[in-house]
Amino acid sequence: MYFKRLLGVVVFTLLLCFEAKADELESLEIKANACEKAFANESLSSARVRAVDKAVFLGIKNLPELESDRMTLNEHDLNVMIYRLVDDFVEDLSSKVLKSEDEKVCVEIKGYINPLHINEVRKEFDLRRQSTDSTEELLEEIAQNVNDAFAVHPQNLEGVALVYVEPLVYYNGKISHKHANNLKEKIKDNPYYFLTDDKELADIKVTPKLLKAKVDALDETHKRFQMVVSLEVSGLKDAPTVISQNRFLLFDASEDEQEIAGRLLDKLLEAAGADLIRRIERFVQEKIEKESIGRTI
Protein backbone atom coordinates (compact mmCIF):
# COMPACT_ATOMS: atom_id res chain seq x y z
CA MET A 1 0.00 0.00 0.00
CA TYR A 2 2.81 2.36 0.95
CA PHE A 3 4.59 1.54 -2.32
CA LYS A 4 1.49 2.39 -4.37
CA ARG A 5 1.11 5.74 -2.58
CA LEU A 6 4.79 6.51 -3.13
CA LEU A 7 4.53 5.57 -6.80
CA GLY A 8 1.48 7.82 -7.15
CA VAL A 9 3.36 10.76 -5.64
CA VAL A 10 6.32 10.20 -7.96
CA VAL A 11 4.11 9.98 -11.05
CA PHE A 12 2.16 13.09 -10.01
CA THR A 13 5.40 15.03 -9.44
CA LEU A 14 6.76 13.98 -12.83
CA LEU A 15 3.54 15.10 -14.50
CA LEU A 16 3.76 18.47 -12.80
CA CYS A 17 7.38 18.89 -13.93
CA PHE A 18 6.47 17.86 -17.46
CA GLU A 19 3.55 20.31 -17.58
CA ALA A 20 5.71 23.13 -16.17
CA LYS A 21 8.39 22.42 -18.74
CA ALA A 22 5.79 22.30 -21.52
CA ASP A 23 4.38 25.66 -20.39
CA GLU A 24 7.89 27.09 -20.23
CA LEU A 25 8.59 26.02 -23.82
CA GLU A 26 5.21 26.93 -25.29
CA SER A 27 5.66 29.30 -28.21
CA LEU A 28 3.97 32.69 -28.38
CA GLU A 29 1.84 33.56 -31.41
CA ILE A 30 2.80 36.64 -33.42
CA LYS A 31 0.14 38.34 -35.55
CA ALA A 32 0.25 41.75 -37.24
CA ASN A 33 -0.57 43.72 -40.38
CA ALA A 34 1.63 46.23 -42.22
CA CYS A 35 1.78 48.12 -45.52
CA GLU A 36 4.68 49.33 -47.68
CA LYS A 37 4.83 51.55 -50.74
CA ALA A 38 6.88 50.41 -53.71
CA PHE A 39 9.84 52.56 -54.73
CA ALA A 40 10.22 53.89 -58.24
CA ASN A 41 10.85 51.01 -60.70
CA GLU A 42 10.55 48.48 -57.86
CA SER A 43 8.47 45.31 -58.07
CA LEU A 44 5.57 44.77 -55.69
CA SER A 45 7.24 41.57 -54.49
CA SER A 46 10.12 43.63 -53.05
CA ALA A 47 7.66 45.94 -51.30
CA ARG A 48 5.92 42.85 -49.94
CA VAL A 49 9.18 41.61 -48.38
CA ARG A 50 9.58 44.94 -46.57
CA ALA A 51 5.94 44.85 -45.47
CA VAL A 52 6.41 41.35 -44.02
CA ASP A 53 9.55 42.46 -42.16
CA LYS A 54 7.71 45.46 -40.75
CA ALA A 55 4.73 43.34 -39.68
CA VAL A 56 6.94 40.79 -37.92
CA PHE A 57 8.72 43.63 -36.10
CA LEU A 58 5.38 45.13 -34.98
CA GLY A 59 4.04 41.73 -33.97
CA ILE A 60 6.98 41.09 -31.64
CA LYS A 61 7.09 44.65 -30.35
CA ASN A 62 3.45 44.43 -29.22
CA LEU A 63 3.81 41.12 -27.37
CA PRO A 64 2.65 41.41 -23.72
CA GLU A 65 5.82 39.53 -22.73
CA LEU A 66 7.87 42.60 -23.76
CA GLU A 67 5.88 45.04 -21.59
CA SER A 68 8.71 45.42 -19.06
CA ASP A 69 11.20 46.08 -21.88
CA ARG A 70 8.92 48.74 -23.41
CA MET A 71 8.79 50.48 -20.03
CA THR A 72 12.51 50.37 -19.18
CA LEU A 73 14.29 50.72 -22.54
CA ASN A 74 14.47 53.77 -24.77
CA GLU A 75 13.06 53.41 -28.29
CA HIS A 76 16.42 52.81 -29.96
CA ASP A 77 17.58 50.10 -27.52
CA LEU A 78 14.19 48.40 -27.65
CA ASN A 79 14.32 48.31 -31.47
CA VAL A 80 17.83 46.79 -31.46
CA MET A 81 16.62 44.02 -29.15
CA ILE A 82 13.50 43.35 -31.23
CA TYR A 83 15.43 43.19 -34.52
CA ARG A 84 17.65 40.52 -32.94
CA LEU A 85 14.53 38.46 -32.25
CA VAL A 86 13.12 39.14 -35.72
CA ASP A 87 16.29 38.04 -37.49
CA ASP A 88 16.97 34.79 -35.65
CA PHE A 89 14.07 33.42 -33.63
CA VAL A 90 10.76 33.69 -35.49
CA GLU A 91 9.34 30.27 -36.35
CA ASP A 92 6.69 29.03 -38.81
CA LEU A 93 6.24 32.45 -40.37
CA SER A 94 3.44 32.77 -42.94
CA SER A 95 2.11 35.83 -44.75
CA LYS A 96 -0.98 36.74 -46.74
CA VAL A 97 -1.47 39.72 -49.06
CA LEU A 98 -4.47 41.78 -48.00
CA LYS A 99 -4.12 44.54 -50.57
CA SER A 100 -1.96 45.00 -53.64
CA GLU A 101 -1.98 48.15 -55.77
CA ASP A 102 0.41 49.88 -58.16
CA GLU A 103 2.29 51.62 -55.34
CA LYS A 104 1.25 49.81 -52.15
CA VAL A 105 1.19 46.31 -50.65
CA CYS A 106 -0.49 45.35 -47.36
CA VAL A 107 0.12 42.00 -45.67
CA GLU A 108 -0.98 39.97 -42.69
CA ILE A 109 1.60 37.76 -40.96
CA LYS A 110 1.42 34.94 -38.47
CA GLY A 111 4.30 33.23 -36.72
CA TYR A 112 5.63 32.01 -33.39
CA ILE A 113 8.48 32.75 -31.03
CA ASN A 114 9.67 30.78 -28.01
CA PRO A 115 9.69 32.83 -24.77
CA LEU A 116 12.99 31.19 -23.83
CA HIS A 117 14.56 32.99 -26.79
CA ILE A 118 13.14 36.30 -25.57
CA ASN A 119 14.78 35.76 -22.19
CA GLU A 120 18.01 34.71 -23.88
CA VAL A 121 18.19 37.88 -25.99
CA ARG A 122 17.11 40.04 -23.04
CA LYS A 123 20.00 38.73 -20.92
CA GLU A 124 22.38 39.06 -23.86
CA PHE A 125 21.27 42.65 -24.44
CA ASP A 126 21.51 43.57 -20.74
CA LEU A 127 25.12 42.38 -20.61
CA ARG A 128 26.01 44.43 -23.69
CA ARG A 129 24.22 47.49 -22.35
CA GLN A 130 26.00 47.26 -19.00
CA SER A 131 29.32 46.98 -20.80
CA THR A 132 28.41 49.95 -23.00
CA ASP A 133 27.30 52.09 -20.04
CA SER A 134 30.58 51.45 -18.21
CA THR A 135 32.66 52.79 -21.09
CA GLU A 136 30.30 55.41 -22.57
CA GLU A 137 31.78 58.39 -20.70
CA LEU A 138 35.28 57.48 -21.83
CA LEU A 139 34.16 57.02 -25.43
CA GLU A 140 32.33 60.35 -25.44
CA GLU A 141 35.45 62.08 -24.19
CA ILE A 142 37.53 60.46 -26.92
CA ALA A 143 34.90 61.30 -29.54
CA GLN A 144 35.38 65.03 -28.97
CA ASN A 145 38.82 64.78 -30.55
CA VAL A 146 38.24 61.69 -32.65
CA ASN A 147 39.51 62.99 -35.99
CA ASP A 148 42.83 64.19 -34.57
CA ALA A 149 43.24 61.01 -32.54
CA PHE A 150 42.53 58.69 -35.42
CA ALA A 151 44.81 60.60 -37.79
CA VAL A 152 47.74 59.65 -35.53
CA HIS A 153 46.70 56.50 -33.67
CA PRO A 154 43.66 54.91 -35.33
CA GLN A 155 44.59 51.52 -33.87
CA ASN A 156 44.13 52.66 -30.28
CA LEU A 157 40.37 52.01 -30.22
CA GLU A 158 40.10 48.32 -30.94
CA GLY A 159 36.64 47.09 -31.91
CA VAL A 160 35.20 50.54 -32.74
CA ALA A 161 34.39 51.13 -36.41
CA LEU A 162 35.28 54.30 -38.32
CA VAL A 163 32.52 55.66 -40.56
CA TYR A 164 33.02 58.10 -43.43
CA VAL A 165 30.05 59.94 -44.96
CA GLU A 166 30.39 61.14 -48.55
CA PRO A 167 28.68 64.33 -49.82
CA LEU A 168 25.08 63.75 -50.87
CA VAL A 169 24.71 63.00 -54.60
CA TYR A 170 21.67 64.34 -56.46
CA TYR A 171 20.06 62.39 -59.33
CA ASN A 172 21.52 64.96 -61.75
CA GLY A 173 25.08 64.37 -60.54
CA LYS A 174 25.44 67.47 -58.35
CA ILE A 175 26.50 67.12 -54.71
CA SER A 176 25.54 68.70 -51.39
CA HIS A 177 27.78 68.95 -48.33
CA LYS A 178 25.00 70.65 -46.34
CA HIS A 179 22.60 67.71 -46.32
CA ALA A 180 25.45 65.24 -45.78
CA ASN A 181 26.47 67.27 -42.71
CA ASN A 182 22.86 67.18 -41.49
CA LEU A 183 22.99 63.39 -41.79
CA LYS A 184 26.26 63.30 -39.83
CA GLU A 185 24.66 65.37 -37.09
CA LYS A 186 21.82 62.86 -36.81
CA ILE A 187 23.97 59.74 -36.62
CA LYS A 188 26.92 61.25 -34.66
CA ASP A 189 29.48 59.12 -32.77
CA ASN A 190 28.35 56.30 -30.49
CA PRO A 191 30.00 53.48 -28.50
CA TYR A 192 30.17 51.25 -31.59
CA TYR A 193 31.56 53.68 -34.16
CA PHE A 194 33.05 57.11 -34.77
CA LEU A 195 32.67 59.43 -37.73
CA THR A 196 35.90 60.36 -39.45
CA ASP A 197 36.84 62.95 -42.06
CA ASP A 198 39.67 60.73 -43.33
CA LYS A 199 38.23 58.43 -46.01
CA GLU A 200 41.37 56.28 -46.10
CA LEU A 201 40.97 55.34 -42.42
CA ALA A 202 37.28 54.43 -42.69
CA ASP A 203 36.04 50.87 -42.16
CA ILE A 204 32.55 51.78 -43.40
CA LYS A 205 31.76 54.27 -46.17
CA VAL A 206 28.31 55.82 -46.64
CA THR A 207 27.12 57.59 -49.80
CA PRO A 208 23.76 59.39 -49.42
CA LYS A 209 21.81 59.85 -52.67
CA LEU A 210 18.68 61.67 -53.74
CA LEU A 211 17.22 59.28 -56.33
CA LYS A 212 13.94 61.01 -57.09
CA ALA A 213 12.17 64.30 -56.33
CA LYS A 214 8.90 64.82 -58.18
CA VAL A 215 6.09 67.35 -57.66
CA ASP A 216 2.57 66.72 -58.99
CA ALA A 217 -0.29 69.23 -58.94
CA LEU A 218 -3.38 67.54 -57.47
CA ASP A 219 -5.70 70.52 -57.88
CA GLU A 220 -5.52 74.32 -57.82
CA THR A 221 -4.53 74.49 -54.15
CA HIS A 222 -2.68 71.25 -53.40
CA LYS A 223 0.45 69.52 -54.64
CA ARG A 224 2.11 66.19 -53.90
CA PHE A 225 5.84 65.71 -53.40
CA GLN A 226 7.37 62.28 -53.98
CA MET A 227 10.96 61.78 -52.83
CA VAL A 228 13.24 58.73 -52.76
CA VAL A 229 16.63 58.71 -50.99
CA SER A 230 19.14 55.96 -50.33
CA LEU A 231 22.31 55.31 -48.36
CA GLU A 232 24.82 53.12 -50.18
CA VAL A 233 26.96 51.48 -47.51
CA SER A 234 30.20 49.58 -48.10
CA GLY A 235 32.07 47.73 -45.36
CA LEU A 236 29.17 45.95 -43.67
CA LYS A 237 29.17 43.05 -46.12
CA ASP A 238 31.11 41.83 -49.14
CA ALA A 239 28.57 43.58 -51.40
CA PRO A 240 27.32 47.14 -50.81
CA THR A 241 24.21 47.53 -48.65
CA VAL A 242 21.47 49.92 -49.79
CA ILE A 243 19.10 51.55 -47.29
CA SER A 244 16.16 53.33 -48.93
CA GLN A 245 13.43 55.71 -47.82
CA ASN A 246 10.44 56.83 -49.88
CA ARG A 247 7.75 59.36 -48.97
CA PHE A 248 4.74 61.17 -50.43
CA LEU A 249 3.96 64.57 -48.94
CA LEU A 250 0.90 66.72 -49.60
CA PHE A 251 1.36 70.49 -49.28
CA ASP A 252 -0.32 73.73 -50.14
CA ALA A 253 0.42 75.12 -53.61
CA SER A 254 1.32 78.47 -52.05
CA GLU A 255 4.21 77.00 -50.02
CA ASP A 256 7.84 77.22 -51.13
CA GLU A 257 8.74 73.99 -52.96
CA GLN A 258 12.48 74.34 -52.28
CA GLU A 259 11.89 74.72 -48.56
CA ILE A 260 9.51 71.75 -48.54
CA ALA A 261 12.04 69.66 -50.49
CA GLY A 262 14.88 70.52 -48.10
CA ARG A 263 12.89 69.57 -45.01
CA LEU A 264 11.64 66.34 -46.59
CA LEU A 265 15.13 65.37 -47.74
CA ASP A 266 16.57 65.80 -44.23
CA LYS A 267 13.66 63.86 -42.74
CA LEU A 268 14.25 60.91 -45.08
CA LEU A 269 18.00 60.98 -44.44
CA GLU A 270 17.30 60.94 -40.70
CA ALA A 271 15.03 57.90 -41.08
CA ALA A 272 17.62 56.10 -43.21
CA GLY A 273 20.31 57.12 -40.71
CA ALA A 274 18.41 55.46 -37.86
CA ASP A 275 18.41 52.20 -39.84
CA LEU A 276 22.11 52.69 -40.62
CA ILE A 277 22.94 53.08 -36.92
CA ARG A 278 21.18 49.82 -36.10
CA ARG A 279 23.01 47.93 -38.84
CA ILE A 280 26.44 49.27 -37.86
CA GLU A 281 25.84 48.44 -34.20
CA ARG A 282 24.82 44.90 -35.03
CA PHE A 283 27.77 44.48 -37.40
CA VAL A 284 30.28 45.66 -34.76
CA GLN A 285 28.61 43.60 -32.01
CA GLU A 286 28.81 40.43 -34.07
CA LYS A 287 32.40 41.17 -35.06
CA ILE A 288 33.45 41.68 -31.43
CA GLU A 289 31.66 38.51 -30.36
CA LYS A 290 33.19 36.48 -33.19
CA GLU A 291 36.68 37.69 -32.35
CA SER A 292 36.26 37.15 -28.61
CA ILE A 293 34.55 33.75 -28.51
CA GLY A 294 35.16 32.42 -32.01
CA ARG A 295 31.56 32.43 -33.20
CA THR A 296 28.69 34.78 -33.97
CA ILE A 297 25.80 34.61 -31.54
- 5 compared with 32, residue with greater pLDDT: 32
Q: How far apart are CA 186 and CA 188, in angstroms?
A: 6
Q: How far apart are CA 158 and CA 145, in angstroms?
A: 17
Classify domain 26-130 by CATH number: 3.30.1660
Q: How far apart are CA 34 and CA 264, in angstroms?
A: 23
What are the sequence ranges of the domains in the chain? Answer: 26-130, 145-293
Across 88-221, where does the E strand assignment appear?
91-100, 104-113, 161-165, 168-169, 175-176, 193-195, 204-217
Classify domain 145-293 by CATH number: 3.30.160
Q: pTM here?
A: 0.47
What's the pLDDT tens digit per position in 92-130?
889 899 988 777 889 999 999 999 989 988 888 777 666
Q: What is the model's pLDDT at position 149?
A: 43
For 147-151, 162-166, 191-195, 203-207, which range has the lowest pLDDT when averaged over its residues?
A: 147-151
Q: How far apart are CA 288 and CA 297, in angstroms?
A: 10
